[in-house]
Amino acid sequence: MSEQILKMEHIVKSYLMGEEVQTVLEGVDLSINKGEFVSILGPSGSGKSTLMNIIGCLDVPTEGKYTLSGHEVEGLDEAELAYIRNKEIGFIFQQFQLLPRLSALDNVELPLIYAGIPEKERKIKAADMLTRVGLEDKMKNRPNQLSGGQQQRVAIARAMVTEPTILLADEPTGALDQKMGQQIMTLFRQLHEEGKTIVMITHDLNIAQKASRIVRILDGKLIEEGSYV
Ligand SMILES: Nc1ncnc2c1ncn2[C@@H]1O[C@H](COP(=O)(O)OP(=O)(O)OP(=O)(O)O)[C@@H](O)[C@H]1O
Ligand SMILES: [Mg+2]
């Protein structure tokens, strides 16, 4: 049986806007197994980022139970959430969010500095990761000396270098042209084949279809689309 690494049970997220309660997630159930490549597809305002923030332990649900890699998230304080987040989640953002003054290698090394890994080991791991994403000859380049697609590859290497349980990507191709976007999706498929668990948020059906499972989000509810593999 596959190992379940993420489980949401009847997750509700509401915001208080003045006197009015606005419910953005209306009882979401979602289970993801180790090694799955899942896209969460939905239009603007449907609650994708809200859901991503909960998956990534950047925010907590108003109601419901969320379990990530055996950690039950309910009732944890900020420091405990940060600990789980750093250990379990590798974030990939639309705008890459690399540090502009650092080389590709130094950007990828950064999470390992925070994790207290010794320098020699850091350099080896960071270089390995950049090689895996096809950037072995660009390690010394700073972000402005790389194409958008290459910058996103650096960001993916940075997300993977601490060996998180899940790669969590929010519109990872949103800032790229179609060709570069397809190259990033090819890389995701390759990582998926190597066994990585990937959760990707997008509003783009073409991009979503590169995953092996699509979950639609509409008006705060999830609808399973079936498997495409
Ligand atoms: N902190 C907040 N306070 C109040 N309402 C919020 C808050 N964050 C999000 N919302 C509301 O929740 C709804 C969903 O927002 P969310 O950012 O999750 O959408 P999204 O699917 O990511 O959209 P997009 O594709 O445009 O990024 C929106 O109606 C938004 O106004
Ligand atoms: Mg969003």
The domain that contains 139 carries what CATH number?
A: 3.40.50.300
Is 227 part of any domain?
A: no
Ligand 1 and 227: CB distance under 6 A = no
Is 158 part of any domain?
A: yes
| Mean pLDDT confidence for 180-193 | 94
pLDDT at site 1:
61
Is 6 part of any domain?
A: no
Is 7 part of any domain?
A: no
Is 175 part of any domain?
A: yes
pLDDT 10s digits, 138-175: 999 999 999 999 999 999 999 999 999 999 999 999 99
Ligand 1 and 49: CB distance under 6 A = yes
Is 126 part of any domain?
A: yes
Residue of 16, 20, 24 to test ligand 1 pocket, by largest number of atoms within 8 Å of CB: 24
Q: How far is the CA of 44 from the centre of ligand 2 (A)?
A: 7
Q: Is the pLDDT of residue 62 over 50?
A: yes
Q: Which residue type occupies 109?
A: E
pLDDT 10s digits, 77-101: 999 999 999 999 999 999 999 999 9
Is 163 part of any domain?
A: yes
Contact partners, residue 10, CB within 8 Å, separation at least 6: 27, 28, 29, 63, 64, 65
pTM assigned to the model: 0.93
Question: Considering every ligand atom, which ligand is closest to the CA of 16?
Answer: 1
The count of structural domains within the chain is 1
Centroid of chain to Cα 229:
20
The CA distance from 48 to 141, in Å, is 33
Provide the domain limits for residue 164: 36-60+75-216
Nearest to 198 by CA among 28, 52, 29: 52
Is 19 part of any domain?
A: no
**Exposure string for 71-103, b = 16+ CB within 10 A, e = fewer:** bebeeeeeeebeebbebbbbbbbbebebeeeeb
